Amino acid sequence: MRQLSAHLLLLAACASGSSASSASGETAAAPLAADQAARLLPGRFDSAAQASADPAYRALQLTACRVSAPELGPSVFYVEQAQMEELERPMRQQLQVIEPRVPSGTLAAIRVFDLKLPEYSVGLCTRHQTGVYTRAEVQERVGCTVTLLWSGTSFHGETSGTACPSTLRGARYATSDVVLDEAGMRIWDRGFDASGRQVWGPDKGPYVFKRRTPLP
């Protein structure tokens, strides 16, 4: 995945020097990557199969659903992650904002926001109602944006180097590597100390979340 950063920089450089005609050609050739990400992110996913095969991984459930947060943008999702035995006690609750990046046919980004009062949103995606949030109710995790590269069938993405801060278990920064496609998602979150030694997160590879609900 580390080769991805160089690839992203190359794409951005090519885009900055491209003409208006190439931009229109890109739009004709492929839909916006941000639209594809917004189609693939919502749903219910879990890592039960992986946990059954490998005790190093826990059985986790991840749910994502669209919410209304006009101050953040038009494509905002509430994302909740919990152990399957304790769904009422989520480990992670966030708003994730999907935005286009240049070139828009291949790049998108996910900005991450923590909820200031997460307890009020537990189980939101199962309530059959649209959550509504204001900018004052969330705090952006600056430096933790995940940039996604669309291959035509899947997204591959990651955070930028050491930019995402973390203090969990003595960490100084965190990284997140993500693969998103129609079958589900693979997420490898890890924390590292000041010397670059991994102090939390799986050693062997990402969590594999299989999609359990149909695509929209």
How much is the pLDDT for 138? 98
Residues 44, 211: Cα–Cα separation, whole Å? 6
Tokens of 140: 């952006």
65 contacts 77 by C-beta, under 8 angstroms:
yes
Tokens of 144: 């933790």
Residue 132: domain span: 3-211
Report which DSSP code applies to 124: G
What are the mean pLDDT values of the chain's consecutive 10-residue runs (216 residues total)? 40 37 39 94 98 98 98 98 98 98 96 98 94 98 98 97 97 98 98 98 97 94
For residue 147, is it within any domain? yes
How many CB atoms neighbour CB 108 within 10 A?
26
How much is the pLDDT for 128? 86
**Tokens 């799986």 — which residue?**
202
For residue 216, is it within any domain? no
For residue 142, is it within any domain? yes
Residues 96, 145: Cα–Cα separation, whole Å? 9
Domain count, the chain: 1
How much is the pLDDT for 149? 98
How much is the pLDDT for 103? 93
For residue 50, is it within any domain? yes
Q: What CATH number did the domain enclosing 199 receive? A: 2.40.128.590
pTM: 0.86
Q: 3-class SS at 133?
A: coil
How much is the pLDDT for 216? 79
Q: How many CA atoms does the CB half-sphere of 105 hold within 13 Å?
A: 13
How much is the pLDDT for 50? 98
How much is the pLDDT for 2? 41
